[in-house]
Structures are given as C-alpha cells and as structure tokens.
Structure 1
Amino acid sequence: MGGIMADSVSSGVPPLPGPPTAAETAPTAPVPPSSPRLPAAVPSSASVSPESAPPASASAVPVPPASVPSSSVSPTTAPPAPQSPPRDHIREGVETVVFVVVLVLLLKLFVTEAFVIPTGSMAETLYGYQKIITCPMCGYHFPVNAHDEAEGNPITRRPSPLVGFCCPNCRYQGHIEEVRPAPTLNSGDRVLVLKPLYHFRSPRRGEVVVFRFPEKPQDNYTAQNYIKRAIGFGGETIAIFRGDLYVTTALDYPEEECDEFGQPIYPRPADPTDLWKPRYMYSNVYDTNPRALSLFEASRKAHFRPGSGGFTIIRKEEAQVLADRRIVFHNDYQPEELVRQARALGLRDAQGQELIWWTRWYIDRDTDGAWTVNDPARPTVFTHDHPEQHWIRYRHLAHPWKRRGPDAHDPTPPTDIAQLAQQKPLPIDNFLGYNAGRDADNIRAWRDTSQDRLWVGDLFLEAEVQFASSETEVVFELSRGVNRFQAQFTPGRVTLRRIGKGAEEFGTPSRPCRIQAGQRHHLRFANVDARLWVWIDGRRVDFGPEANYLPMEPGPEDQADPEGWVYANDVERPASIGVKGKATVRHLVLSRDIYYTSARLPPDFSQPDVYYVQPGHYLCLGDNSAQSSDSRKWGLVPDRLLLGKAVFVFWPAYPEMRIGLIK
C-alpha cells in the first residue's frame, strides 16, 4: 500500500493520479517478520555492466520492506574517544613557579635589576631614606635625610630619630612636632638598572651608573653597590673649580718623572688592578700634580677657550640641566608668621612709610609709580604699566630663624625679629634642605658644614608673564661675577645679551619665538656651565653655540671675593626682571645649579682639585656633592665593576610622586 517506487521522480513533484494497473492490484505474498528480505550478494570479483544487466520487467512487483523489530538489530555506534589522563594541578603549579623564578633570575642576571637607594649622595635627583616636610611657616614641601633613623647613626650604631629641619625656601629652623600631618619615614627610591647596555657601548658623560664599590665589592657576602654619575673617562684629567667641572686630554703622566728626592711623581702599581686607588689619580688633594695645575692656570687666563689645548668647561645636556635644579626661593611660598612678627615691630623708613624689609623680591627705585602689587607685605603679583623700563630685584635674605625656645635637642633661644630686621643680603649659596636635618643624637648644632655655604653663580629664573601688547618688552637678568646676562622677550622674538667683560665678543644672538601679545607665557632663563638657556612654555629656544660664552675672571678693580663673587652683581642684584610697557609677572621661582665641592677642607678657591682618570676607569660623582662619598674620596671605578645604567624610578608614588625616567 505505501511502497516506494524504484523510479520515483527525483524532482520531488508527485505523479498525476491514474487508473490502477494489474501489478498494483495483484496481491503479494506475505513475508514472515522473522525472515527479512536481503539483497543477493554479488561476488567481489564480478562486475556488472549496464549492458549485461537483465532488463527490468514491466510487470515486476516491488517488494515492500519488511518491518523489523527494533530488538532484532543492534544500532551502529561510534567507538569511544580516548580519555585524557587526569590533570596534576600540583605539578602544573610547581612548573609555573619554577618558570617564573627562572625567568626573573635570567632577567635579573642579564637584562634589568631593581635597586633601592639607601643614602642621600644623589639627592635630590634620587632620594635615600627621607621624610617629606611641609614647612609650617611657608608651606613649601621638601625632603630631609632620615638615614640615621632608618639605619642607625654611624657613630652610636643605634637609630637616631629625625627631630629638626631647616626649610630651603624660607630658612625656618623647625621641629618635627610642628609639622602637620606628621611626616612618615620613607624608604629610598627604587630604581631599575639596565644591565646589558654597557656590553654594547661605553657609559656617556652624565649618565647615572650602578657599580660595585671598588674598595670592598662584597661585605659579609653582600654586594656593595653604589650609584653615581659618570663624569670622567680614561685618559682625561678632571678639574673641580668653584663648583664647575673642567676636562682635558692634553696631559700625560710619564712614569719616570721624579721629584727632587728621586721619588716618582706619577707612580704605577705593581698590580694593574690597583689603578683605581686614589694614589694613582695624581690628585693635588692627596699629593701634587704640577703638570695639571700649570695647564689649568694657563687655561684660566685664556678663559677656557675651546681648541686651545687646555682645560675646557664640561657642559651638561638639557635633560640633566633641568634635573639638577635646586630651589633658592619660590615667591608663592612666603612665611606668614615672619611677616606678622615683622609688621608688629612697626619699623618706618625716612619718609614715615612702613619699612618692608623682609620681602625677597622688591621694587627697585620706582619713582614713577610704574609698579603695583597685590599685597605690599607679601607681593606675589607684580604689574607694570609705564613706557619706560623699571625693575624688580631679588635679595637673598637667607639668615636662619626659629620660633621655638630651647629644648632637649636645641638649646638656642628663638630668633629676635628686631635683630633679623638688620640682616644684610647674602650671596646665593649651595644650601640644600635635604642635608639640613637634625637628629636626636646631634644636640650641639644643626647638620651643617662650610660645604653648604658656598657661592653659586649658575642660576635659573622663571615666571609667568602676561604681555599686554605688541610693544611690551620683558627682560630677565642673571648676574655672575663681573657679568650680567639678559634674555629680552618681546612678542615674536627673544634676544640674549652679555653686560660687562666679553660683551662685544658675545654679541646679541636673537631667535624668533612663540610669544604673543595678550597671552600668558611661562618664561625660564638660565645661566649654567658658561651657557645661556631659554625656555618658553616648556620648550627650549635653541641658540646653538651662540649661547656659549667664555668666563671672565674678576680684576683687582672688581673687589671680588676669593670665591669669585662681586658684591655689586651677586649680592645687590643676583636676579632681576625689567619691564617696558604693560605686563603682569607672577609665580616667580629662583633656582640654582649643582655645586661640586672641593675635597680639601677648608677649600682653596685659588686653584682646582685635579684628578687623572686611568684608562679603563671612570670618575664618578654624587649630585649631593657636599655630602657624597664618591671618587674624590675613595678613587676610580674600574670598568669590570660596572653593573649598568640606572634608567627608571618605579617607586614610590606617595607621599611624593617619584616615578619617572632618571635624567
């Protein structure tokens, strides 16, 4: 009844109905359910072609398939998939840990390694153990060395808490109890050191390098690692003179040259691995070096002119110049308590006006009333409106002062403000707040030495200036010895000038700039390493070699101090801003460069400290020169002891963000 025709149409269209045929009406023999009809087997060796196949009979009756009970035929099933062995989670964990450990060890051994800075010899480029202080008088933030509190006093061998500080901005001498919130003890900067770099190239001048301490590379199986700047290289003679660095390669030191007693002036060690020792640096700090001192004096008389075959000044690159800035005074942070006590004195000038003696930035000889300020007692915004040029000037009123009376750690009385009012301006010095802490064991004096009171002539002056019109002219001026250096800013152009000796040779180099009338611009002018620098809105204006100048020595008529400063310039007017036309000046900041100190105490300002760098060695110095133990004291760094270049501070981020590249 329901059989499927063998020649059914494959198109899927049902056939038209018609009369039944005899074949359709003929009965079919029943097939027992137990005997299903199976096709006949065809021998595998026989092939049936269409020609040999018997013709299909028209009367052939299709046989319907027999219904087969489901229980009589086994269903066809796929073979079971092979099962994976059970996972060993413990083994996988151990393998992961081993892989990570091996990877870290390989990275540490060959690529990079993390170090912690324990001391302050590189401050404030890199911090050791320190506390971040917010001055209770002026609000300025700065770090103070707290190594003895963390590691113990080197004399008593016990922790000595930090109890006092001196603000580098307002010079207030305070106690930790006055600081709110109370400062916490912070570990030193954590830095990453790139180890393979010096396998491919030599260190470059100014790079911060990590090395094994030559005198004792290991102590009780612990590596003694130091971090300093690479300053001198093999074959060079380095001179440190009045805070600056000089170099020459014109000197050799013959081994056979002897003194009047027949002793070699420039000896060599029996073991070449001892060349790093101070004796073989031929320094006048330890002995004498007539060759180097004679050449330096000749170079000094020639103003260290390049190409003369003598010493020349070492000039830093821009990144290091900016990294080496140290605060002198930030005018936005003025001590309110000092102002209050000073005004309470009620001092008057000859005209009966209030005598404002405490402000560091002041208006100079303004008889035309061209300048106005936001607050005469604490001026932070200066506005000039006059067709003639008038000046505001800086005076370094940096005498320390204190408010608290005697206590167990400081027996001195509070400062008499009436006596402080009589103070005279000082030359700008190399004072560093990081070094001016006071420990509990140091009960006689603040941590201060003669090495922290040396004149610095390399300065930075920056401010935000609004140029009211295209006719506005603003001049930044910095003094150094017998010279005053100026950067003249006008809309669209900046020009450099040198006033005093050497002015004609320097000329008046000029460059176009981005200053626009009616706009505010952040201006920065610097005199560092006998080179003038200018930045506008954070971008340097490149003057090339035209910004370099030859340093001039003071003559007898200049009445210079042995350190080299001249009172009329470096004390009375170390930094000034002049304006012609209408402009507003705010956010004044005065900074200084690093001052490299002499290893001789007291220092001799008439001659340099000279050091010869043996081939295959480096002379390395700390940025915190007054408190750094470096090549000046213990010798050179052999190339074999270099570990790599310090490239990145990766921690801490609090309480002060320190993360960033090392410049």
Structure 2
Amino acid sequence: MTSSDSNTPIVPSQPAAPKTGVTETMMSLIMSFVLAMTARGFIIEGFVIPTGSMAPTLMGQHVRWSSPQTGWEYAIDANGYLGRWQLAAQELNKLNGRLSAIKDPEQRKTIRNRDLKRALIARWDPMFGLTDPVERSTPEPIQPIPANGDRVIVLKSLYPFSSPERFNVVVFKNPTDPVGPTQNFIKRLVGLPEEQLVVVDGDVFTGPLEGSPESLRVVRKPEFVQRAVWQPVYDSSFVPVELVRWEESSQSSWWGAPFMPQAGDWKIGTDRTWRTTSDQPAALSWNHDEWPITDFNMYNVNRLPNASVPPFSRDPFPISDIRIAGVVEPLDGREFAGTRLVMTTRGLLFEWSVKSGALELRMSRESDGSELSSISTPFDVSRSAFEIDCWQVDQKMWLFINGTLELELPFNDWSPEERFQASYPDTTVETYLTNPTLPRPAGPQIDWYFDGGVEAIRNVRVDRDLFYRPTMLDSANQRSQNGPFVRGLGFGSDFRTPGRLERGQHLMFGDNSAASRDGRIWGRPHPLSAQYTGDDAPFIVPQDMLIGKAFSVYWPAPLSFPGTDSRWVPNFGKLRFIR
C-alpha cells in the first residue's frame, strides 16, 4: 500500500434512493385501506346514535336548550321539539295573517292577546320545578337545526373471547329487523344467559333457571356504573335569577326550593347556600307536591301530546332509588352535633346518621319502627365543611363522606312478589298482573334533621336511578313479517312466572325506558335472524348477534359556532367512556 493510498478517505457505500411513483403510492394506500378495514371488521368500529332510547347516557339527534332562569342546559328529542316548533310556527303565521287584515289597533291587541298562546312553545326547567313552564315563547324565526347523535367506538374483539357482563352498553344486530334501516341497536345488557328474570318497581331480579320465582333476588349495578347513570332531579347550584319577571309574566308565585323548613331559622329563598344560625335542632322536608321524584326524563318533554301541561301530569312512576348529597358546614369553632337523613318508602325507614364520633346506617319497618338491620363505624367528623352523599339504590344503602365510601348496608330478603307488596300495598296481585302499567307506587318522603351547630348547607343535589317501566305487549312494537303477534305482558313482567333466558340468550333495555323499544316488547325475531342463529325465541338477542361493547363517545354532538346554526365546533367536554 502506498502512502497516497493510506491517506485516501474510505467513503461507505450509500443505499440507492428509494424509487417513488404511482405504483408505490397506490400500494401504500391499498395497504392502509386493508388495515383499516381489518380493524373495522374485527377490532373496532364507529357508530352514530340515532335515537334517544339511551338518553341521557347516550344522545341521539337532539336540540339543546338552556334555561334563562337557572342556566340549566339539557337535550330534547329532536323529532318532538321540531314537531312542536312546526305547529307553533303555523299558528303564529295564521295569527299574523289575521292581524294584518285588521286596521283597528285595539282590536289587533285584543285578538293577539287572546290567540297568541296557541303559537307559544312551553319550555321547562327541572331545576326551577315542573309545576309551570319557566318560559312561554314564540318559535324561533328559523327552524332550529338539531345536533347529530353521539358517535361511539365499539370494541368488536371482546365478545368472541369473553362473555359480556351485565350492565354493559352493547351494540347488536336487531333480531326483528336484521337487514332494514334499524338493523343495529344499542342498549344496556340486563339479562344474561341461563337465568330467570323479572322487573318489579323499576329494579331487576334474577335467579337460576331451576329456582322458584320466590328465589329470585335483586341485582345491583357496580358503583362506577351507578355513578354514570344517576339522573338529576334537583341541584341547588342552579337557582332562579329573574323571579320577579317570571312572576309578573306568569301571574303566579314561584313555589320555592324543594326542601322546605320544618324546624329552625332557615334562610333558603333563591340563595345557593341555605343557612341557619341557631344552635337549636333544625329540619328540612322535601316538597313532594311541587317536586315529585319520578322517572320523568327531560329528553322526552316534547314527546307528550300536550307539552303545555306539567310533564308529571302524564303519570310517571314515583321512584324510591334516590341519591341525596350536600356539603354541611358546622359553625366556626364549634363541635358538629350531627345530622340524620331519613327516607320513608316502600314500607321501610332508611336512616343515614353522621354524628361526632360515629357513622350509622339503619333500616327499619315503617309500620312499627322495628329495626331490620344496621351498621356503624367510628368516624371523626371534621370541624370544617364536609360532603355527605347518601344512596338508596337496588335495595342497598350507601354512605360516602367527602367522596369516600364509609358504609354500605344491603337488603336482600325480598323476593319479587314481596317487593311488589311493599311497593303497591293497595293493589292486588290479580289487578297488577292484568295490566302492570296502570298502578303507581307512592312517592318517597324525605326529611333531613340537624341536631344543632350547623351554619349552612350547600351544593344540595338529588338524583334518581334508572327505572325500568312495566310493559304490555303491543302489535305496534312488533313486525307482521316475523309471524303471529305475541300478546300479554312484556317479557319479565310477571313475578309469578318470570321470563327465562336460555343458553346464549341476552335481554336488552334502554336507559330511557319511557322512550325505548326494549327487548321485552319487540316480539318474534325476523326469519333471517332465526335461520342465522338457530334461535326463534322472542324478545331475546342471541350471542351470535352481539357486535361489541360500546367503549367511548369519541365525537359528541358538535357545538354551533356563536351566532350561527353551523355545528362544527368540537365538544371536547363531552368526550367520555361509556359506563
């Protein structure tokens, strides 16, 4: 090797530059498409929620409205609202046409005052109360553009390898219409294979296939599901801000907050904080006449035949599964004496007690006060403000302090028929089973006692649980091409003859029970479904028709750009997992 050779740098060989062109681009696009279709077919898929059968857990096409009094905002079924808008707009156009032909100003005023009410839309606010509308107004000049339903991601890879769990939200092929416009449904899975099932007073009771009807017991939602399905009844953070204007326009007086003072020097009014400055015992009671706690869902407000009457005039079902929470603030520097929440419902007294040094749950008979069960634990109540959160749901009491579960007390003794007797003491079994949609249980009585040493309570909230309504079979909910109509009670409505789910069969309910076409009422499957699954049983969803578990809302209904009806602003605040 020469010296000149040793000084010559060695340059590593470079790979040839990749050739790019139409062929390579097309191959990349095809590969991406194949991967996307593979994921869509076997792993995940997106679906749009079309209707409100799962509202407010999942929203179908809807219109959002915000109350001018409290600021409470909620979604309304789009079809119901637009139908109401069109009727009101037609009446307004007719009235304006009549008025344009009248020259006398006084006559015009008289006719307008007399006939305008037919062109008004009644708007309701659950935080204001549902005795009277919070507002009656003429329809918007331009027909509102409804928001689209939520878009959800469905995990399709789970159920081929694992069994679905009770209370999963599931997308499945509709057995009654597997190839039509309603071929995909989304509901909550309530009934599992190889069990008996019956619904009583809004709750679900199940038991093994070989058991007697008396052996069935209530099933309970996991805590994370229960928190997701609570539906608001009242929240003291939303208070009326223009009561004088409302009282003048409606020519009536507001009925007040739902908790009424029974003892003590309470100052409630329209303040977000309720105060008592006395060291003497104080008490609040729920106003059931003006604030009934029922299964009414505000999403359905415009589905009523007459949306100008109070929503609860349509005989919704009073509910006993309730959550009551609030922040209690002891007087500065003084020891907290104690508070006790008492709910009387279904023949029982439920008591949640928070005292200095102890927490206690107690369940007793309403008739004689005899104790059925109780549980307590030592607890040091802070001298500062603390949150108390009391649940009675699915025959179980819960007590949370500052968000932490401290006590729970289940009640498992009732069979479905015993639950019926406690809920409907004035109704015979024969009357109920003739048509279970007619009788109504009594509403709960709620009293909140304070032993003294309380300065204020705030952030008072009352929520209610899902309530699965009793059902009757109706030919309108069945398809004639699927065979003879099934008649009688809905599936799982007769506690003396519970519904039976055999191997591979599931039962689906909607969270918005009053507006949901549940499996309990949809009758026989389509012949194609029966041929595909080998199962022609009515009401049920075979395992082979499950598509997957609804995992998350990845694209909630977008918001409108301010000042326009154009809906394209992402609503990131509503992104959520589905429970």
Query: Scaled by the length of structure 1, what TM-score is found?
Result: 0.63
SS of residue in 1 equivalent to 2:374: coil
- Residue in 2 that maps onto 1:226: 185
Is the 8 Å Cα contact of residues 281 and 452 (structure 2) preserved in structure 1?
Answer: yes
- Residue in 2 that maps onto 1:57: none
Distance 1:313 1:606 in 2: 14
Which structure 2 residues correspond to residues 462-611 of structure 1 after superposition, within 5 A?
A: 462-468=325-331, 469-491=334-356, 493-501=358-366, 504=370, 506-513=372-379, 515-517=381-383, 519-543=384-408, 546-548=409-411, 550=413, 563-565=440-442, 570=444, 573-600=445-472, 608=495, 610-611=498-499
SS of residue in 1 equivalent to 2:574: coil
1:363 aligns with 2:287: no
SS of residue in 2 equivalent to 1:102: helix
Q: Tell me which of 502, 526, 529 is aligned to 1:614.
A: 502
Distance 1:494 1:594 in 2: 28
Is the 8 Å Cα contact of residues 199 and 493 (structure 2) preserved in structure 1?
Answer: no
Q: Tell me which of 204, 218, 222 is aligned to 1:313.
A: 218
- Residue in 2 that maps onto 1:185: 146
AA of the residue aligned to 1:242: D
* Greater C-alpha radius of gyration: 1
- Residue in 1 that maps onto 2:156: 195
Q: Please state how far the C-alpha of 1:242 moved relative to its aligned partner.
A: 1.7
1:647 aligns with 2:551: yes
Distance 2:63 2:218 in 1: 36
Distance 1:327 1:521 in 2: 21
Is the 8 Å Cα contact of residues 80 and 303 (structure 2) preserved in structure 1?
Answer: no
Q: Please state how far the C-alpha of 1:387 moved relative to its aligned partner.
A: 4.6
SS of residue in 1 equivalent to 2:160: helix
- Residue in 2 that maps onto 1:168: 126
Which structure 2 residues correspond to residues 153-552 of structure 1 after superposition, within 5 A?
A: 165-169=123-127, 170-171=129-130, 172=133, 174=135, 185-219=146-180, 224-251=183-210, 296=213, 299=214, 310-338=215-243, 357-364=255-262, 366=263, 370-373=264-267, 376-396=268-288, 424-425=289-290, 427-437=292-302, 453-468=316-331, 469-491=334-356, 493-501=358-366, 504=370, 506-513=372-379, 515-517=381-383, 519-543=384-408, 546-548=409-411, 550=413
Could you list the per-position Cα deviations for residues 207-237 of structure 1 after superposition, in whole angstroms to 9, with x for gaps in the alignment?
Answer: 1111111112112xx7821111111122222
Distance 1:387 1:181 in 2: 57
Q: Tell me which of 38, 41, 47 is aligned to 1:115.
A: 47
Could you list the per-position Cα deviations for residues 137-175 of structure 1 after superposition, in whole angstroms to 9, with x for gaps in the alignment?
Answer: 33211111114689x99xx9xxxxx96643333222656
Distance 1:318 1:652 in 2: 24
Closer/same/farther in 2, CA of residues 243 and 176 from structure 1, 3 Å limit: farther
Is the 8 Å Cα contact of residues 257 and 269 (structure 2) preserved in structure 1?
Answer: yes
Could you list the per-position Cα deviations for residues 82-135 of structure 1 after superposition, in whole angstroms to 9, with x for gaps in the alignment?
Answer: 883663243443233222212211111111111111111111111111122111
Closer/same/farther in 2, CA of residues 617 and 135 from structure 1, 3 Å limit: same
Q: Please state how far the C-alpha of 1:79 moved relative to its aligned partner.
A: 10
Could you list the per-position Cα deviations for residues 55-74 of structure 1 after superposition, in whole angstroms to 9, with x for gaps in the alignment?
Answer: xxxxxxxxxxxxxxxxxxxx
Is the 8 Å Cα contact of residues 200 and 420 (structure 2) preserved in structure 1?
Answer: no
Is the 8 Å Cα contact of residues 151 and 555 (structure 2) preserved in structure 1?
Answer: yes
AA of the residue aligned to 1:611: G
Q: Please state how far the C-alpha of 1:448 moved relative to its aligned partner.
A: 6.5
Task: Give percent identity, aligned residues only.
Answer: 25
Is the 8 Å Cα contact of residues 458 and 480 (structure 1) preserved in structure 2?
Answer: no
Distance 1:76 1:533 in 2: 84
Work out the number of aligned pairs and report it.
475
Distance 1:497 1:80 in 2: 84
Is the 8 Å Cα contact of residues 336 and 381 (structure 2) preserved in structure 1?
Answer: no
AA of the residue aligned to 1:509: I
More helix by share: 2
Distance 1:106 1:85 in 2: 32
Could you list the per-position Cα deviations for residues 17-48 of structure 1 after superposition, in whole angstroms to 9, with x for gaps in the alignment?
Answer: xxxxxxxxxxxxxxxxxxxxxx9xxxxxxxxx
Is the 8 Å Cα contact of residues 42 and 156 (structure 2) preserved in structure 1?
Answer: yes
Which sits farther off after the overlay, 498-507 or 649-658?
A: 498-507
Distance 1:660 1:436 in 2: 25
Is the 8 Å Cα contact of residues 361 and 375 (structure 2) preserved in structure 1?
Answer: yes
Is the 8 Å Cα contact of residues 436 and 446 (structure 1) preserved in structure 2?
Answer: no
Distance 1:203 1:179 in 2: 46
Could you list the per-position Cα deviations for residues 449-472 of structure 1 after superposition, in whole angstroms to 9, with x for gaps in the alignment?
Answer: 987611111111011111344342
Q: Give structure 1 stretches of 5+ with no counterpart.
A: 1-38, 40-74, 157-161, 253-294, 300-309, 348-354, 397-423
Aligned-residue Cα RMSD (Å) equals: 4.1
- Residue in 1 that maps onto 2:98: none
Q: Give structure 2 stretches of 5+ with no counterpart.
A: 88-119, 428-438, 475-488, 523-538, 560-570
Is the 8 Å Cα contact of residues 240 and 598 (structure 1) preserved in structure 2?
Answer: yes
Could you list the per-position Cα deviations for residues 393-450 of structure 1 after superposition, in whole angstroms to 9, with x for gaps in the alignment?
Answer: 2213xxxxxxxxxxxxxxxxxxxxxxxxxxx4464211110011269xx788779798
SS of residue in 1 equivalent to 2:453: strand
Closer/same/farther in 2, CA of residues 648 and 503 from structure 1, 3 Å limit: farther
Could you list the per-position Cα deviations for residues 357-382 of structure 1 after superposition, in whole angstroms to 9, with x for gaps in the alignment?
Answer: 53322110x3xxx4342xx5324322
Is the 8 Å Cα contact of residues 384 and 579 (structure 1) preserved in structure 2?
Answer: no
Closer/same/farther in 2, CA of residues 82 and 114 from structure 1, 3 Å limit: closer
Distance 1:77 1:341 in 2: 91
AA of the residue aligned to 1:360: P
Distance 1:198 1:554 in 2: 35
Is the 8 Å Cα contact of residues 475 and 578 (structure 1) preserved in structure 2?
Answer: yes
Which sits farther off after the overlay, 598-607 or 491-500?
A: 598-607
Closer/same/farther in 2, CA of residues 234 and 372 from structure 1, 3 Å limit: closer
SS of residue in 2 equivalent to 1:98: helix
Query: Scaled by the length of structure 2, what TM-score is found?
Result: 0.71
Distance 1:111 1:231 in 2: 24
- Residue in 1 that maps onto 2:70: 138
Is the 8 Å Cα contact of residues 365 and 372 (structure 2) preserved in structure 1?
Answer: no
SS of residue in 1 equivalent to 2:163: coil
Is the 8 Å Cα contact of residues 111 and 195 (structure 1) preserved in structure 2?
Answer: yes
